[in-house]
Amino acid sequence: MKKFIVPFYSIELWLGYKTKLSTIKRVLKADSVDDWSDSDGRTDYFEDDLSTLAVSFKSKDAGTIAHEAIHIKNIIYRRIGATLDLKNDEPEAYLVGWLVDTITTYLNSV
């Protein structure tokens, strides 16, 4: 797994490809993390500490990347108490764009 810091939000974003569940548990300092072995991607975090996210991919396809980027964005928005603004969606668009670019670059490197 490789760590990235999400700009402006000070969130640790750990990205992995075909990451073992034990590695995700270690990154999150968690005793238990649900096993979602049947999915192409998974985003893990703890509701009481949204400062560290672990995302693992089994697939490198655009749909999976977009799917997990939306989960990450929503977790970050919950952490900062933001709501979606349909008349001013630039902050959301920039964040999702950064996430998709970062995830794609990482997955292309592994």
pLDDT of residue 35: 67
Is 11 in contact with 28 (CB distance < 8 Å)? no
pLDDT of residue 36: 65
Full domain range(s) for residue 34: 2-109
pLDDT of residue 65: 96
pLDDT of residue 99: 97
pLDDT of residue 39: 77
pLDDT of residue 16: 93
- Dist CA 55 CA 72 (whole Å): 9
Which residues of the chain have a pLDDT value below 50?
none
pLDDT of residue 37: 66
**Among candidates 12, 11, 73, 21, which has minimal Cα distance to 42?**
21
- Show the tokens assigned to 33: 């993390």
